[in-house]
Amino acid sequence: MTAAFPTPAADESQRLLSPEELEAALRDIGARRYHNLHPFHRLLHDGKLNKDQVRAWALNRYYYQAMIPVKDAAVLARMTEASLRRVWRQRIVDHDGDHPGDGGIERWLKLAEGVGFARDYVLSTQGILSATRFSVDAYVHFVSERSLLEAIASSLTEMFSPTIISERVAGMLKNYDFITKDTLAYFDKRLTQAPRDADFALDYVKRHATTPALQRQAMAALTFKCNVLWTQLDALYFAYVAPGMIPPDAWTPGTGLVAEAPAVVQAAGTGRIEAGHVPRLPRGVRMRFDETRQKHVLLAPERTFDLDDNAVAVLSLVDGQRSVADIAVLLGQTYAADPKVIEADILVMLNDLATKRVLER
């Protein structure tokens, strides 16, 4: 197969590099081609992107994260030595975790949720740019089809990742008010995992690339991988920065997000309800007796909530005039109970309804 990226010349007369020279040549590839140099990363780290552009990055990169263990399982499958597999399998554990809720993929989901995405939307991978998918899938195919040496060499971009991670975390925390340390927790572990993985891979490549042809293959594999990372950022830049051409079916700002609940509640004037507040039903919400089900319900646009007897007693007194304290006094008289105890109970109930946006003050 002819490849669309640099491949070793068939010429075996190339000089054999010493292991140190080979390492220097590999580092030189990173210095010229690693994705820290991409304009999209420069914008991301310098705080020059808007929230939706950061979201596009988080969403698309989820696909890379999700496929890394698939890639590593393909590499593992090519290893005939148990000693190698024992080391490599740690990469899969790092990403998948040992338990549900654990591992790098889960931490990336937290990052995506931290910038506003609904978890299920991210998991669906709907909305990922085709170019992201093509690049990432090409990486998985590469390690399945090429030699083990090339497969391992292609992971060597990780030699360069600690620097970019430190720069990214510091830059994003400083420049974006919607980014917190918790959101970026994914990167904490990478700072130790990446050098450990890269050291092992580099040592393997230096020991096994024992002919000029093999050395060139290793270099070409690293170049290919730099291109896998670079093209993902090209695609993001094209779709979400300039010219801003979002392909059909790719994520568009405003979709796949969790409703920003506190903002909505505040905007509707429904912040936390306290004893002195006068609660009322928002426009479009009313209490009704459902004859078929013989039950009181709260009807809201496109939603219905069943009400228990206590809720009906309270809501019957919600008239837009009485405060919560007034309602508690009336109920105290009706049920011969301490109004303060009633007040505490009904505040919990009223605030629950306010969170569901069927009550306001």
Ligand X SMILES: O=C(O)c1cc(C(=O)O)c2c(n1)C(=O)C(=O)c1cc(C(=O)O)[nH]c1-2
Q: Which residues bind ligand X (CB under 6 A)?
A: 68, 155, 157-158, 161, 164-165, 190, 229
Tell me the residue number closest to ligand X, measured at CB.
Answer: 157
| Closer residue to ligand X (CB): 155 or 270 | 155
CB of 304 to ligand X, least distance (A): 45
| Closer residue to ligand X (CB): 168 or 208 | 168
CA nearest 26: which of 194, 173, 216?
216
| Closer residue to ligand X (CB): 139 or 251 | 139
Residue pair 58/119 in contact (Cβ under 8 Å)? The answer is no
Q: What residues contact 69, with CB distance under 8 A and at least 6 apart?
A: 91, 92, 95, 96, 105
CB of 229 to ligand X, least distance (A): 6
CB of 94 to ligand X, least distance (A): 8
Question: Which residue(s) pair with 319 in the sheet?
Answer: none
CB of 252 to ligand X, least distance (A): 25
Can you tell me whether residue 244 is helix, strand or coil? coil
Phi, psi of 68 (to 5 degrees): -60, -45
CA–CA gap between residue 185 and residue 203 (Å, rounded): 29
CB of 292 to ligand X, least distance (A): 55
> Terminus-to-terminus CA distance in the chain, angstroms?
69
CB of 151 to ligand X, least distance (A): 10
Q: How far is CA 343 from CA 180, 310, 348, in A?
A: 37, 12, 9
Phi-psi region at 180: left, alpha or beta (left = phi > 0; alpha = psi -120 to 50): beta
| Closer residue to ligand X (CB): 41 or 361 | 41
CB of 158 to ligand X, least distance (A): 5
The 10 Å CB-count burial string (b at 16+, else e) for 246-263 is eeeebbeeeebbeeeeee
CA–CA gap between residue 36 and residue 167 (Å, rounded): 9
Tokens of 274: 């306290």
| Closer residue to ligand X (CB): 41 or 216 | 41
| Closer residue to ligand X (CB): 143 or 358 | 143
Three-state helix/strand/coil letters over 90-137: HHHHHHHCCCCCCCHHHHHHHHHHHCCECHHHHHHCCCCCHHHHHHHH
Please give the full DSSP string across 254-320, using - where no structure is assigned: TSSBPP-HHHHHHHTT-----TTS--BPPTT-EEEEETTTTEEEEEETTEEEE--HHHHHHHTT--S
CB of 272 to ligand X, least distance (A): 40
CA nearest 9: which of 291, 276, 260, 214?
214
